Amino acid sequence: MIKKPIQEIRRRELIEAAYRVFLVHGLAGLTTAKICKEAGMSPGLLVYYFKSKDDVLFWMVRHANNVLMNVVIQKMKAATNRWDRLMAIVVGNFPEDLFNRNTANAWLSFYALSVHDKQLERLQSVFNQRLTSNVHSCVNGILTGTELTDFSQGLGIVIDGCWLRKGGSLNNMSSAEAIAFVEHQVVCMLGAAKVKQLKMLS
């Protein structure tokens, strides 16, 4: 078994600690002191292993998205037909342990900052492309051209909308309710005939 270099291990520990701080405090609370305290390390080590706090932020956001994407990929691999793969994308975007107000507002703080940060904006573009690619793999051929583009964008908007509403103080939508809502919207967008086709295709 090949051991990972200590530098790689420490970087990973700091990234994961930053992610835990991010989920609780959002980007505004993502300070060097909080990250290092969460990781159980001296504040000086963050500067040693990363160029800056912004560098930590970049890798933390990548890690945060990968947490969700890994769930999506696992569920898609377990699916037996295209409809189930499409639903795997929906279910994977609403993990029960993460679909809460703190996480929703943490991601909203990222979206707000990405408007002014080119590096984070590029990350957001990559995230959107991943979702689009996954959706296309499920419905390509059933939908084509502008229909395919419109459906992918529509699904992304509905998913993002549920997360946006979850950030509100009066919204008590559960993960299961969000999944059911998005599934209903998908059926409405596709129509019963196309849903039936997807269920018949592996």
Q: What ranges do the domains of the chain cover?
A: 6-200
Nearest in space to 79 (alpha carbons), one of 68, 65, 90? 90
Q: CA-based diameter of the chain, in Å?
A: 60
Q: Which fold has domain 6-200?
A: Tetracycline Repressor; domain 2 (1.10.357)
Handedness of CA 152, 97, 181, 77 (dihedral sign): positive
Residue 113 has pLDDT above 80, yes or no: yes
* Residue 97 DSSP label: T
pLDDT tens track for 32-82: 999 999 999 998 888 888 888 888 889 998 998 888 888 899 999 999 999
**What pLDDT, on a 0 to 100 scale, did the predictor assign at position 6?**
85
End-to-end Cα distance, the chain: 37
pLDDT tens track for 70-85: 889 999 999 999 999 9
Cα dist. 62→12, 45, 114, 163, 194 in Å? 12, 21, 13, 18, 34
Cα dist. 45→7, 25, 37, 64, 105 in Å? 10, 21, 11, 21, 28
Average pLDDT over residues 16-25: 92
User: What tokens were used for 5?
Assistant: 């270099």
pLDDT tens track for 141-170: 999 999 999 999 999 999 999 999 999 877
**What pLDDT, on a 0 to 100 scale, did the predictor assign at position 93?**
94
Average pLDDT, the chain: 91
pTM: 0.89
